[in-house]
Chain A
Amino acid sequence: MHYTLNVNGQDRSVDVDDDTPLLWVLRDAMNLKGTRYGCGAGLCGACTVHIDGQPVQSCRMPVSSLGTSKIVTIEGIGDTPIGKRITDAWLKIDVMQCGYCQGGQIMAAAALLAQNPKPSDDDIVTAMDGHLCRCGTYLRIKQAIKLAAEGS
């Protein structure tokens, strides 16, 4: 099937099966590799993107359900004011170890700050708890979110 998706502000056409998860459309049909496969079951958050501003796990989102939604990925989030503050904070603290989950972490953090510019510790934990980091960089993730929130 032919689909036109709005990704990072651009309309892009792809030809994929109806049930293809957005994750694999982004990665393999659009060559946007920053959205990452971790579990395929909505359990790890590595594939988080924004759909109309909401954080969504793209591994569970069939392409046929997207319609004209506006999709933002890790490749595009740095161009938004909140995304820029978050990625700057991520770099200042150097959150990363392997970095594989960090795209999803940043997307979740950006959605949190968009809805709640000054989150408490509990707010951060509630928003981020499903996002697994196998390297265990959670303390720096928390710190970076707070730093980004200060700059708002």
Chain B
Amino acid sequence: MLPSELKKRIAGLKPSRRAFLAVSAAAGGALVVGYYTLGRGKALKDGALNAFVTIAPDNTVTLVAKNPEIGQGVKTMLPMLIAEELDVDWRQVNIEQADFDPENFKGQYAGGSMATPENYTPLRQIGAATRFVLVQAAAEQWGVSASECTTASGMVHHASGKSAPYGALVKAAAKLKAPDLKAVKLKDPTRYTIIGKPTIGIDSPKLVRGAPLFGIDVEVPGMLYAVFHKCPVFGGSVKSANLDEIKKLPGIKDAFIVAGAGAHVFEAEGGTASTGLQPGIAIVADSWWRAQKARDSLKVVWDEGPYAHHSSEFFAQTADALLAKDPAWVYRKDGDPAAALKTAAKTIEARYDYPFLAHATLEPQNCTAHVADGKCEFWAPTQLPEAARGLIAGTLGVKEKDVVIHITRSGGAFGRRLMNDYMVEAGWISQQVGAPVKLIWSREDDVQHDFYRPAGWHKIKGGLDAEGKIVAWQHAFVSFGKGHEFASCAGLDPGSYPAGRIPNLSFGTSLIQTGVPMGPLRAPSENAMVWVFQSFLDELAHAAGKDPIDFAIAVLGKPETKPLGAEVFSAARVLGVLTKVRTMCGWGRKLPARTGLGVAFSFCHLGYAAEVVEAAVAKDGTVTLNQVWAAIDVGRQIVNPMGAENQAQGSVIDGLAHALNEKITFANGRTVQSNFDGHSPLTMRQVPPVEVAFVLSDHEPSGLGEPAMPPVIPALTNAIFAATGKRVRSLPIDPAMLAG
């Protein structure tokens, strides 16, 4: 897959994204299987049966974790799939993180909650095919039929009483022809001993001892340390700097201007293209602290570029002016919304807005690079090494095949590390100084040079008929981009629910062009749109005088109905999670004064989630979260329940931070916030109990990095409405607006 296709697939920018996901999902893994081989083409280690499985004489099994571990648990979960079908005990398994190795591994990325749907079947097939050759080797040695042999706990057994550990069969098995992956027989799930069992993270024992697993922990002999000081104004560049002074400071090895190269995100059409190397000043020292401290003495004359006047006020005023007019581009129109609004029994209109957000991974962006003497080696926390390789090769003028990328554990990612800007910076600096260099961004760099979740401004008019059915939905919004091209993740999917269920509906937009970099943040697009849509649906429910869950079920209609553009959407599965959460939370029970329950649901990244928040609002506007309930359907099998619950709770808590805490603003073309005091995740004090239930449905298992995140925001603001009669239409929630 080309990096550009992969990026589109993950980032979810284009209207066709869901259709694209649908193709992949409908293929049920068959499409993906073709990517997998047993990887014998490349030199393998002793005891290796293929690129994924190595078995030592003492029967220790080493499995390769091919995808980046960013806290979503794939370094444990993916090898569990292989181990299950290989029929070994989990305690005999070691796991090794793969380097980026496209010859042996496909789909080496973390994004779009795709690790489970893309690998659930293929990795089980890898395990089963490996088991197959081990059984075959035993059968040949014993002169019996393979069909008479069984396996358990890494041993092959025969009815005659003969048995052998896998470790003793590896040499013979390695000479046998591997079976066709698609033809291997997989276990009956009722026989699973690993899949579905709560399993602790393979690195957890190391993490509690502070082991050096993250990118920022990498040490390479002879390594220098670097900071990279970019223009605070997006789209700006360096005119001059006092480099001679900087070079005289203690421990400074070099300081130089980087002019920038490649496609700058600001110059690309609509801001959608991959980043190039931004202009800035590199300071290289014998310790990171000395490099960082030298920045205090740095004096730079910047060319602030064309966007220095951009600010949050400018964006809000521009959006206001644009929303006063017809949208520049109407890209979905069903029926005649304007006419239907005129004849509707009741109409309502509302405006919603939400801010830019930063990813603020706790481990700041960093990369260690050694680009010298024909070497081109990288150690980095990256979600998308394939794109990194292309970016590095193109920018540094090296061949892709010469770029070696070691994938480290990521201290959080949330979409930030799909962009590999920090990698190309480290590579460039290393190439200039001819030594290995560890680049670490300061927290300030990280907050001020993100690819932000785009802000947006929406105006929706809705019409109900006399029975309280929605007959019209006219939706205009202001976002970012150029012409008819949305900036990265600034779009609204034309298939967004409830499109397809309302006879007269339109989606139209007007776009603002800016230099602010934008990109995917966990549940891209849905992290904002679900709040807008599920809030307005709640408004319509109240306008119709209906219970919000009854109303939601009525809008859903027949379980088979499918909205256009979202082929994999299943109303039956929405109904499943909605009815489950209704029971979980005791919907309809009597609540104290100024306390309310709010509900919302979403479908994203192949998963379904319905969530209810119970919130209490004090007279001064302080919001207290009493409890969250989440019902989630990601198919028939939860691979690792231990990690799954953690992901779901973390997603909910992440969403609550969007609702309560987080906001990035701009002034004079630059980011105002610079650290966690201005943009904080939820703190322990704010966190309510989060009860999670998985609704198992007879569908292929899908991922959990994202689906539980979007609905909690509207569930909270709908709960606030239920508690106070006040509708939150701007995020983050302003308690002052709820006082009284």
- A residues whose Cβ falls under 8 Å from a Cβ of B: 16-17, 19-21, 24, 28-29, 31-41, 43-44, 46, 73-75, 78, 87, 90-91, 94, 96-103, 106, 124-125, 128-142
The answer to whether A134 touches B362, judged by C-beta atoms less than 8 angstroms apart, is: yes
- Establish whether residues A106 and B289, one from each chain, have CB atoms under 8 Å apart when the complex forms: no
Task: Give the residue of B293, B440, B650, B687 whose beta carbon is less than 8 angstroms from that of A37.
Answer: B440
Question: Assuming A94-B646, A125-B684, A138-B687, is B362 touching A17 (CB within 8 A)?
Answer: no
Q: Interface stretch among B407-415, B454-462, B590-598? A: B407-415
Does B649 make an interface contact (CB < 8 A)?
yes
Contact status B73-A19, CB under 8 Å:
no
B contact residues around A102 at 8 Å (CB): 207-208
Beta-carbon contact of B684 and A142 below 8 Å: yes
Distance from B444 Cβ to chain A, minimum over Cβ atoms (Å): 8
Q: List 22 A-B contacts (CB under 8 A).
A: A16-B289, A17-B293, A33-B210, A33-B216, A34-B211, A36-B216, A46-B362, A74-B208, A75-B210, A78-B208, A100-B362, A100-B411, A103-B207, A128-B684, A129-B685, A131-B684, A132-B680, A132-B681, A133-B681, A138-B687, A139-B687, A139-B690
Which of chain B's residues 252-310 have a Cβ closer than 8 Å to chain A?
A: 287-290, 293
Q: Are A100 and B683 in contact (CB under 8 A)?
A: no
Within 8 A of A (CB), among B414-438: 414
> B residues 170-212 with Cβ under 8 Å of A?
198, 200-201, 203-205, 207-212
CA distance A94 to B649 in the complex (A): 13
Instruction: Decide: B647 and A43 in contact? CB cutoff 8 A.
Output: no
Q: How far is the CB of A40 from chain B (nearest CB, A)?
A: 6
- Across the interface, which residues of A come within 8 angstroms of B652, CB to CB? 136
CB of B24 closer than 8 Å to a CB of A: no
CB of A98 within 8 A of CB of B681, answer no
B360 within 8 A of A: yes
- Asked if residues A106 and B684 are in contact (CB atoms below 8 Å), the reply is no
- Interface residue? B364 (CB, 8 A): yes
Name A17's contact: one of B210, B217, B290, B363 (CB within 8 Å): B290
Flag if B650 contacts A137 (CB, 8 Å): yes
Give the one of A33, A131, A134 with max B CB within 10 A: A134
- Known interface pairs A97-B72, A101-B362, A125-B685. Does A19 touch B293 (Cβ–Cβ under 8 Å)? yes
Instruction: Give complex CA distance A134, B109 in Å.
Output: 21
- Residues from chain A with Cβ under 8 Å of B207 in the complex: 96, 99, 102-103
- How far, in whole Å, are A38 and B211 apart by their CA atoms in the complex? 16
Please name the 9 residue pairs, one residue from A and one from B, whose CB atoms are nearest each other, closest first.
A34-B210, A98-B71, A100-B411, A136-B653, A74-B210, A97-B71, A136-B650, A99-B207, A33-B212
CB within 8 Å for A34 and B212 given contacts A97-B73, A132-B362, A134-B360: yes
Are B646 and A38 in contact, with the CB atoms below 8 A?
Answer: no
Q: Is the CB of A44 within 8 A of B646?
A: no
Given contacts A24-B287, A100-B71, A140-B649, 8 further A-B contacts (CB under 8 A): A36-B214, A38-B363, A97-B71, A98-B410, A99-B204, A102-B208, A136-B681, A137-B650
Contact yes or no, A98 B362, CB < 8 A: yes
With an 8 A cutoff between CB atoms, is B682 at the interface?
A: yes
Q: How far is the CB of B247 from chain A (nearest CB, A)?
A: 17
Q: Once bound together, how far apart are the Cα atoms of A55 and B72, in whole Å?
A: 29
Contact between chains at A134 and B685 (CB < 8 Å): no
Give min CB distance, B284 to chain A, whole Å: 14
- Min Cβ gap B208→A in Å is 4
Binding site for A on B (CB under 8 A): 70-73, 198, 200-201, 203-205, 207-214, 216-217, 219, 225, 250-251, 287-290, 293, 360-364, 409-414, 440, 442-443, 642-643, 646-647, 649-654, 657, 675-677, 680-685, 687, 689-690
CA distance A102 to B646 in the complex (A): 14
Complex interface: chain A residues within 8 A of B409 (CB): 98-99
Given A34-B212, A41-B443, A41-B675: A28 and B646 interface contact (C-beta under 8 Å): no
CB-CB under 8 A from A142, the residues of chain B are 684
Complex CA gap A136/B654 in Å reads: 7
B203 touches A99 (CB 8 A): yes
| CB-defined contacts of A135 to chain B, threshold 8 Å | 71, 412, 646, 650, 654
Closest chain A residue, CB of each to CB of B442: A40
A77 to B203, CA, bound (A): 18
Partner of B650 from A19, A34, A44, A97 at Cβ < 8 Å? A97
Secondary structure of the B side of the interface?
A: loop
Minimum CB distance partner of A106 in chain B: B208
| Cβ contact within 8 Å between A28 and B70 | no
Residues of A within 8 A of B198 (CB): 94
Q: Which residues from A are CB-within-8-Å of B413? A: 98
Closest Cβ–Cβ distance, residue A126 to chain B (whole Å): 8
With A97-B647, A100-B214, A136-B654 known as contacts, the answer to whether A43 contacts B687 (CB < 8 A) is: no
Q: For A39, list chain B residues within 8 Å (CB).
A: 443, 675-676
Alpha-carbon distance A18/B212, docked complex (angstroms): 26
B416 to chain A, nearest CB (A): 11
B251: which A residues are within 8 A, CB to CB? 17
Selected contact of B288 from candidates A28, A31, A38, A131, CB within 8 Å: A28
Closest residue of chain B to A99, judged by CB?
B207
A32 vs B209: C-alpha distance when bound (angstroms): 11
Bound: A46/B290 CA distance, A: 21
Task: Give the chain A neighbours of B288 by CB distance below 8 A.
Answer: 24, 28
In the assembled complex, the CB of B34 is this many whole angstroms from the nearest CB of chain A, namely: 32
Q: Is the CB of B217 within 8 A of A33?
A: yes
By a CB distance below 8 angstroms, the chain A residues around B646 are: 94, 97, 135, 137, 140
By the criterion CB–CB under 8 Å, are B201 and A43 in contact? no
Does B443 contact A40, Cβ atoms closer than 8 Å? yes
Chain A residues within an 8 Å CB radius of B211 = 33-34
Find the residue from A34, A73, A128 having the highest chain B CB count within 10 A: A34
Residues in B with CB closer than 8 Å to A106 are: 208
Residues B287 and A141 in contact, CB atoms below 8 Å apart: no
Smallest Cβ-Cβ distance to A139: which chain B residue: B649
| A87 (CB) vs chain B CBs: closest residue | B208
Q: Which residue of A lies closest to B443 (CB)?
A: A39
Q: Roughly how many angstroms separate A141 CA and B650 CA in the complex, as a whole number? A: 12
Instruction: Choose one: A90, A131, A136; the contact of B208 (CB below 8 Å).
Output: A90
Q: Which residue of B lies closest to A86 (CB)?
A: B208
- A136 and B442 CA atoms in complex are apart in Å by 22
Q: Which of A28, A74, A125, A136 has the most CB of B within 10 A?
A: A136
Chain A residue numbers with a CB within 8 Å of B212 are 33-34
- The residue of chain A having its C-beta at the shortest distance from the C-beta of B656 within the complex is A136
Instruction: Please judge, given known A-B contacts A28-B225, A43-B675, A136-B649, whether A96 and B204 are in contact too, CB under 8 Å.
Output: yes
With a cutoff of 8 Å between Cβ atoms, the chain B residues found around residue A134 in the complex are 360-362, 412, 414, 681
Known A-B contacts A21-B289, A28-B289, A136-B652; the reply to A91 vs B681 at CB < 8 A is: no
Closest residue of chain A to B674 (Cβ to Cβ) is: A41
> How far is the CB of B323 from the nearest CB of chain A, in Å?
34
- B-side contacts of A19, CB under 8 Å: 293
Known contacts being A37-B364, A97-B73, A139-B689, is A87 close to B210, with CB within 8 Å? no
Our pick among A29, A31, A44, A96 for the contact of B362 (Cβ within 8 Å) is A44
Question: CA–CA, A40 to B364, complex, Å?
Answer: 11
A7 to B646, CA, bound (A): 34
Q: Which residue of B lies closest to A59 (CB)?
A: B443
Residues of A within 8 A of B290 (CB): 17
Set B293, B363, B657: member contacting A98, Cβ < 8 A: B363
Contact B209 A78 (CB under 8 A): yes
B209 with A34: CB separation less than 8 A = yes
B689 contacts across to A, CB distance below 8 A: 139
Nearest-neighbor residue (CB-CB) of A29 within chain B: B287
Minimum distance in angstroms from B272 CB to a CB of chain A: 26
Set of chain B residues within 8 Å of A24, measured between Cβ atoms? 287-289
For the complex formed, measure the closest distance between the CB of A57 and the CB atoms of chain B, giving whole angstroms.
Answer: 12
Chain A residues whose CB sits within 8 angstroms of the CB of B414 once the complex forms: 134
Which residues does chain A contribute within 8 Å of B70, judged by CB atoms? 98
